[in-house]
Structure 1
Amino acid sequence: MGDTPVLWVPELWTGGERGFWAKLEGRNPGGIKDRPALHMVGEARKRGDLRPGAPIVESTSGTLGLGLALAGVVHGHPVTLVADPGMEPLMRRLLLAYGARLEIVAEPYAEGGWQAARRARVRDLLARLPGAYCPDQYTNPDNVGAYAGLARELAARLGRVDVLVCSVGTGGHSAGIHRVLRELSPGVRLVGVDTVGSTIFGQPARTRLMRGLGSSIHPANVAYEAFSEVHWVAPAEAVWACRRLASARYASGGWSVGAVALVASWLARREPAGTRIAAVFPDGPERYFDTVYGDAYCAEHGLLDGKPEPDPDELPYPGAAEAVRWTRCTRVTRPEPAACGGAIEAAEAGR
């Protein structure tokens, strides 16, 4: 795990001379979240929060689940993962093959959606399983600390990073990489990439098709003060970028990868020549054969509508209007608790 490749990617619209550097975290055994899974479990064992052989229980949309299954094998812990029906069939089969037990919640909560429902199930399981431990990726500072190595790898490979582009879900990798990278590359700017329908940056909660980024709660690990701007990307735009990456560079991934590549390509066209842009690709394409790369699925959901517009819509502040396509805002603030209709409280109850 670690020391993943860094690939030069020409910007996606024209394939011209400008572009960005992509950190290919899909080359880890399970993806980027192998790093926090092993780190959180290791630190919990050191503190005595996780006893030898005790169960690990966590809520996941998939990638962290792969990392926790790996941690369970390495350290000898049974792993129970709480997911929702949106988890891809391939991911379910992989997690079961890796020895994890799956619990699938049936209905989303009115406030906090599927994530709140999953976290409530985690609380129930923790009460029923003596000695069980939940890493709680949304609030655990060890999630943030796990990415120091990735930041140092980027600095060693690129020397200087001017702009860091990260998808945002739990907030762990954007906060952790930026925190270390700004010591090695003073002045580095952090650009967040979210999905339409996500509440993280103050947009209204909607049903979300994309997994691995976005949230229906406000995770405590999101470092709002660190972001210079945020972009919301729609599923069809991410699909176009994923497929363009695959055909042009023989390297791609899932929803987060497409969304990040779209934004990083736009920045490559807009920033002054010589700006060194690093984008983190959290996973590879393997688990998305039936979704992002499945023509029937994409056609059913209207995701094959062609190349996105070359520029995003602009918002003066996050709540000015609802983002329904690629949209950008340079004013990033921590949303007020009332804006999420109780989702924060639902999340905090699951700590």
Structure 2
Amino acid sequence: MQSLITTDVTPAQSTLSGLVGNTPLLRICEPLAPAGHGFWAKLEGFNPGGIKDRPGLHMVERARARKDLPPGGRIIESTSGTLGLGLALAGMVHGHPVTLVTDPGLEPSMTRLLTAYGADVDIVTEPHPVGGWQQARRDRVARLLAEHPGSWSPDQYNNPDNTTAYTPLALELAAQLRHIDVLVCSVGTGGHSGGISRVLRQLFPELRVVGVDTVGSTIFGQPARTRLMRGLGSSIYPRNVAYERFSEVHWVAPAEAVWACRQLAASHYATGGWSVGAVALVAGWLAGTLPAHTRIAAVFPDGPQRYLETVYDNAYCERHGLLDAPPPGPEVITRPDEKEVTRWTRCTEVVDPLAGEGR
């Protein structure tokens, strides 16, 4: 099987921040999509730490410009891993100590890597009774900010700089593909889906935006549950989610994401973690149901390295019942609150769960 790969290459940069951006596209087809159909994957794992190198650098640079973050001030943030890499990079570039608040679900290898990059890793030990680990991390961030005068938190869930950080990525996609009919993004903080779709909708007014969430996530109106997948989904409502731009949402279960990740690895070499598997599953299905000429762009946020002990570990997957047969197509519901979903499910009615609360 032949894969087509394209990239816009800029001259080599001599700075750390110059390593971020201008990531390649890879054409993904069989077995994720039927013969003659496919989609284009934006491989953000080619950034040093993944897609969140972009907002990590951008949010810090904007905070420094506004003087919200003084020289040498400490950066403190909650993370499930990938943004932590971006903030560690930004702290190194601009001379700021970094404290990252996470929870026991973070892979030990990621904890070691963040520590090697100079970050202090603070692990909360108990979930919040309502907001789970995510809210527990945010509460711990608030306490640390009070303990460190002159410190600053990016607040990735609500910071508009998290979305504007993805303007360059959107422009890269537009330049590489010339035209885009459908954009497929995982949704966690709402940063990259909101930032990319804002720019691309201006360039391509008929663009369809498809959000990919995880079962157990409350972002699109489902009840919050304990979630195995990290990097997408939320147990809180991030303000950066641009609900009005989504044409539909898909919820994907962990076993379904694992299947797609492993199929990508075996057929295209380029693969990644939970978000990549979920996005690839949905993008491949869309490619098979839409006309072959439809130009679909899917954002792959990272690579496979941090998932060697989870997604790509047979023992781990067997313990969690993740080595199922290929998933059938999505179940369909008409409203996000129609029922609690437990497997791949699609809904074409997207609503803001907080629309009536002055959001």
Q: TM-score range by the shorter chain?
A: over 0.9
- Give 2:73's aligned residue: 54
- Asked if the contact 2:75–2:98 (Cα under 8 Å) also holds between the matched residues in 1, the reply is yes
1:124 to 126, 143, 147: 143
> What amino acid is the match of 1:92?
T
- Asked if the contact 1:58–1:135 (Cα under 8 Å) also holds between the matched residues in 2, the reply is yes
> What amino acid is the match of 1:48?
K
2:154 to 129, 135, 148: 135
The RMSD of aligned alpha carbons is 1.4
The 3-state SS of whatever aligns with 2:247 is strand
After superposition, residues 199-218 of structure 1 pair within 5 angstroms as: 199-218=218-237
d(CA) in 2 for partners of 1:13 and 1:222? 27
The 3-state SS of whatever aligns with 2:126 is coil
Q: Does 1:295 align with 2:318?
A: no
- Give 1:38's aligned residue: 57
The 3-state SS of whatever aligns with 2:352 is coil
- Give 2:131's aligned residue: 112
Task: Write out the 4+ residue segments of structure 1 that deviate beyond 2 Å after TM superposition.
Answer: 11-15
1:326 to 323, 331, 344: 344
d(CA) in 1 for partners of 2:88 and 2:28? 32
1:272 CA displacement: 1.8
d(CA) in 2 for partners of 1:219 and 1:182? 21
- Give 2:274's aligned residue: 255
d(CA) in 2 for partners of 1:206 and 1:14? 31
- Give 2:212's aligned residue: 193
Q: Structure 1 6/35 Cα, relative in aligned 2: closer, same or farther at 3 Å?
A: same
- Asked if the contact 1:11–1:266 (Cα under 8 Å) also holds between the matched residues in 2, the reply is no
After superposition, what is the alpha-carbon deviation per residue over 1:117-141, rounded to whole angstroms, capped at 9, x for unaligned?
Answer: 0000000000000100000000000
1:337 CA displacement: 7.8
d(CA) in 2 for partners of 1:185 and 1:337? 26
- Asked if the contact 1:22–1:280 (Cα under 8 Å) also holds between the matched residues in 2, the reply is yes
The 3-state SS of whatever aligns with 1:215 is coil
The 3-state SS of whatever aligns with 1:197 is coil
After superposition, residues 271-290 of structure 1 pair within 5 angstroms as: 271-290=290-309
1:273 CA displacement: 2.4
d(CA) in 1 for partners of 2:32 and 2:244? 31
After superposition, residues 1-351 of structure 1 pair within 5 angstroms as: 1-13=20-32, 16-309=35-328, 311-336=329-354
- Asked if the contact 1:81–1:101 (Cα under 8 Å) also holds between the matched residues in 2, the reply is yes
- Asked if the contact 1:41–1:50 (Cα under 8 Å) also holds between the matched residues in 2, the reply is yes
Q: Structure 1 13/178 Cα, relative in aligned 2: closer, same or farther at 3 Å?
A: closer
1:186 CA displacement: 2.1
- Asked if the contact 1:81–1:100 (Cα under 8 Å) also holds between the matched residues in 2, the reply is yes
- Asked if the contact 1:231–1:329 (Cα under 8 Å) also holds between the matched residues in 2, the reply is yes
d(CA) in 2 for partners of 1:9 and 1:235? 21
- Give 2:8's aligned residue: none
Aligned length: 340
- Asked if the contact 2:33–2:287 (Cα under 8 Å) also holds between the matched residues in 1, the reply is no
After superposition, what is the alpha-carbon deviation per residue over 1:294-338, rounded to whole angstroms, capped at 9, x for unaligned?
Answer: 0000000000012111x1001110010111000000000001489
- Asked if the contact 1:139–1:219 (Cα under 8 Å) also holds between the matched residues in 2, the reply is yes
- Asked if the contact 1:22–1:281 (Cα under 8 Å) also holds between the matched residues in 2, the reply is yes
TM-score computed with the length of structure 2 as normaliser:
0.93
Specify every segment of 5 or more residues in structure 2 that has no aligned partner in the other structure, as ranges: 1-19
> What amino acid is the match of 1:316?
T
After superposition, what is the alpha-carbon deviation per residue over 1:145-180, rounded to whole angstroms, capped at 9, x for unaligned?
Answer: 000000000010000000000000000000000000
d(CA) in 1 for partners of 2:327 and 2:305? 24
d(CA) in 1 for partners of 2:212 and 2:33? 22
- Give 1:341's aligned residue: none
After superposition, what is the alpha-carbon deviation per residue over 1:203-253, rounded to whole angstroms, capped at 9, x for unaligned?
Answer: 011100000000000000000000000000000000000000000001000
1:111 CA displacement: 1.1
> What amino acid is the match of 2:335?
Y
Specify every segment of 5 or more residues in structure 1 that has no aligned partner in the other structure, as ranges: 339-343
Q: Among all aligned residue pairs of Structure 1 and Structure 2, give the percentage whose two residues are the same amino acid.
A: 69
Segment of structure 1 superposing worse, 178-187 or 256-265? 178-187
d(CA) in 1 for partners of 2:224 and 2:199? 31
- Asked if the contact 2:33–2:288 (Cα under 8 Å) also holds between the matched residues in 1, the reply is no
- Asked if the contact 1:11–1:20 (Cα under 8 Å) also holds between the matched residues in 2, the reply is no
